[in-house]
Amino acid sequence: MANLEIENSLSGLICGLDEVGRGPLVGPVTAACVYIPDEVRSQDFWQIVTDSKKLTQKKREMLFPLIQQTCNWGIGNATIEEIDDLNILQASLLAMRRAYDDMGVAMDHALIDGNKKAGLPCTEMTVVKGDSKSLSIAAASIIAKVSRDNHMLELHAEHPEYAWDSNAGYGTKAHLDAIEENGITIHHRKTFKPISLLIGDAA
């Protein structure tokens, strides 16, 4: 379980940021920023908040509205065009800056999952595997994950043949087989292999 040890070592207002969607072949990269007010930190549901990848879909969906209702939070996306233009790392950091701005509350410190600072207007601390170490980052990982999964369900409704409802845009066998049979969509990242290779072959 993630905890508040890192947050408690700092003074002032502290938020956590995390992103999802760096690896998929399709869709945006999505980041979330979460500030957990002191007065809600004792609520029972925090006992199960951890890295979203360690939670079942059912638990993520149960925690998602609870975090939204009790915390200050923001969401930011970087589009497939921005991913292709900037590269996935820079697009991820852009999404984090947008998530911080979307939260709308000035922070003293930001805890960022990973080892890259995002360029936020406050003190930044990078935390490798932060979604397992910091409660704020873990909460952000859940908000980002559920938000992006919901977006991929919307895209799946447009293109059900790619099974984005189950693979979230990752390059699974079913997804790659569908690309081979149906080609690519406007939602595919053109600079990601094998998409870039298919575009090159078609040129």
The mean pLDDT of 81-88, rounded to a whole number, is 98
Say yes or no: domain 5-151 is CATH 3.90.440.10: no
Do 191 and 199 form a contact (C-beta atoms < 8 A)? no
The mean pLDDT of 9-38, rounded to a whole number, is 97
The mean pLDDT of 153-168, rounded to a whole number, is 97
Do 98 and 84 form a contact (C-beta atoms < 8 A)? no
- For Cα atoms 125, 79, 18, give the angle at the middle one, nearest 5 degrees: 25
Work out the percent of the chain whose per-residue pLDDT is above 70: 98
The mean pLDDT of 18-35, rounded to a whole number, is 98
Torsion, Cα 86 90 94 96, to 10 degrees, reads 150
| Residue that has been written with the tokens 């909460």 in this structure | 139
Residues 113-133: pLDDT tens digits? 999 999 999 999 999 999 999
Domain ranges of the chain: 5-151
**For the chain, how many helices (H) and strands (E)?**
8, 5
Work out the percent of the chain whose per-residue pLDDT is above 90: 96
- Tell me the CA distances in angstroms from 125 to 5, 38, 60, 110, 184, one per residue in order: 14, 20, 25, 6, 39
- For Cα atoms 164, 46, 5, give the angle at the middle one, nearest 5 degrees: 110
Name the phi and psi angles at 24, rounded to 5.
-65, 160
Beta-strand relationship, 123-127 and 29-35? unpaired
150: nearest Cα among 32, 15, 2, 51: 32
Instruction: Write down the pLDDT at residue 142.
Output: 98
Q: State the CB neighbour count (10 A cutoff) for residue 135.
A: 24
